[in-house]
A and B are shown apart, each in its own frame.
Chain A
């Protein structure tokens, strides 16, 4: 009976060893997935924040374009005349 129990105990130990290795692998994998998700979230947040902050550059560009168009309306004739003066023979 004792011999049988020893054999059974040995079997339990072997199975336990395998289970422990499996547990180690699964735990590691799970934790790494968590870390991967967190780092992806961090990078995505940084990208979104930077986009938001940089919107100001696009707004400034639009404002600049509006100003340029207004100025061009007043200067068109002068510019066209200049081109003609330049290309017509003297």
Chain B
């Protein structure tokens, strides 16, 4: 009798053990399946997102390509323009050096005289003061004759006096007696005033259509 009961009890225990193992086995299998399912789900969603991102990247790459091309094209253009500007500046510098040499030439006094008359006419004559640089003060200028020339051109009685002041640049500075109106005919000022026009003329000679 005892043995029969023991046998039944053992059977119950075995069944419970089997059922327990089955429950745990199912739980583990469904856990693995869930993990795999989530992984596949993430992969699938990520793939769609990756495709969208790559399409966007392709569009951006095209924009980058265009931008880089334009940048380099502009850089090349700028290099040529910069070279032209430097060459034009070099011509202006050479011209300034030639002017310095001109100061030692015979005809220089006549150039100064023309500058004085032109400035005097621009000021409509009257009592005018001429300022020169240190070296030019020793030039043989016919000041009273220049005054007469201005009188003749403007119809206004003109007296010219050479100022005791000195300037540094070549050329002349002519002003009214009260100093209110000044005509700066130094070559430095003339070149500065006409720089744009001069650069244009130089460029036309140097570069033509290039």
A73 to chain B, nearest CB (A): 10
Question: By the criterion of a CB under 8 Å from any partner CB, how many residues of chain B are at the interface?
Answer: 76
B191 interfacial by beta-carbon distance below 8 Å: yes
Who on chain A is nearest to B71 by CB?
Answer: A54
Q: A21-B38, A61-B77 are in contact. Are A49 and B27 (CB under 8 A)?
A: no
Measured CA separation A60–B72 after assembly (Å): 12
B43 interfacial by beta-carbon distance below 8 Å: yes
Tell whether, in the assembled complex, residue B206 and residue A71 are in contact, meaning their CB atoms are under 8 Å apart: yes
Tell whether, in the assembled complex, residue A27 and residue B39 are in contact, meaning their CB atoms are under 8 Å apart: yes
Give chain A's interface residue range (CB within 8 Å of chain B).
35 or more
Who on chain A is nearest to B28 by CB?
Answer: A12
Tell whether, in the assembled complex, residue B64 and residue A89 are in contact, meaning their CB atoms are under 8 Å apart: no
Tell whether, in the assembled complex, residue B62 and residue A54 are in contact, meaning their CB atoms are under 8 Å apart: no
Which of chain B's residues 17-59 have a Cβ closer than 8 Å to chain A? Answer: 17, 19-21, 23-24, 26-28, 30-32, 34-35, 37-39, 41-43, 45-47, 49-50, 53-54, 56-58
Where the two chains meet, the residues of B that have a C-beta atom closer than 8 Å to any C-beta of A are 13, 16-17, 19-21, 23-24, 26-28, 30-32, 34-35, 37-39, 41-43, 45-47, 49-50, 53-54, 56-58, 60-62, 64-66, 68-69, 71-73, 75-77, 79-80, 83-84, 87, 91-92, 94-95, 98-99, 102, 111, 114-115, 118, 185, 187, 190-191, 194, 197-198, 201-202, 205-208, 210
